[in-house]
Amino acid sequence: DGGITQSPKYLFRKEGQNVTLSCEQNLNHDAMYWYRQDPGQGLRLIYYSQIVNDFQKGDIAEGYSVSREKKESFPLTVTSAQKNPTAFYLCASSIARGGNYGYTFGSGTRLTVV
Amino acid sequence: AQSVSQHNHHVILSEAASLELGCNYSYGGTVNLFWYVQYPGQHLQLLLKYFSGDPLVKGIKGFEAEFIKSKFSFNLRKPSVQWSDTAEYFCAVNEGAVGKSTFGDGTTLTVKP
């Protein structure tokens, strides 16, 4: 079945560590997105990529970095500069850069700083 | 910046009651509009979408939404809810041809059997 795979499902990070969240899709979608979800809040856009080797900052990019070396993969690194990284992270993809088709979402990664 | 407002954070209904969840957005140009649903323990999934044509859009599981451009609104409706509709619902908006979506804060719907 086609879809988006996020791993790991749960991740624990110590203060000062960088961690990388994986997002892989086999839908042949052009565009991929990373969102952060906090309790009682909607999804906030961290980074997005509409084509391989190109990506743009979203609304809350500080403390995060991404790469898009392959169409299928869009990993997110949460760096030690991110002040409050504990959250639920969602990866999504869409069929075209035009944005008319809506997103397919992964199951998410819950990151906790310990 | 674009903003999306969902009026109700938590709605509680009995089965067979009618549902309307409000969604308003701030962008004045061409928009694409979406409702997503997250059932307990499941992925977020697309419920319905509007990008042109008939402003009354029908989605899965008997849901529909109406785009009213003059009111910057895209409210979600269902004539008769079921216990299985218990979920969190998110409204989202894309500006024109830009692919990235701005989401509302979500509405948690609890349907009592």
Contacts of A45 in chain B (CB under 8 A): 100-102
DSSP secondary structure letter of residue A38: -
- CA distances in angstroms from B78 to B46, B60, B85, B109, listed in the order given: 16, 11, 10, 12
Contact in structure between B18 and B81 (CB atoms under 8 Å) = yes
Chain A: closest CA distance from residue B3 (Å) = 11
Amino acid at B38: Q
How far apart CA B76 and CA B17 sit, in angstroms, is 14
Distance spanning both ends of chain B, measured CA to CA: 41
Is A84 near chain B, with CB under 8 Å? Answer: no
CB contact under 8 A, B99 and A48: yes
For chain B, what is the mean pLDDT? 93
pLDDT exceeds 80 at position A2? no
Contact A42 B90 (CB under 8 A): yes
Give the per-residue pLDDT at B97: 64
For the stretch B61-78, pLDDT in tens is 999 999 999 999 999 999
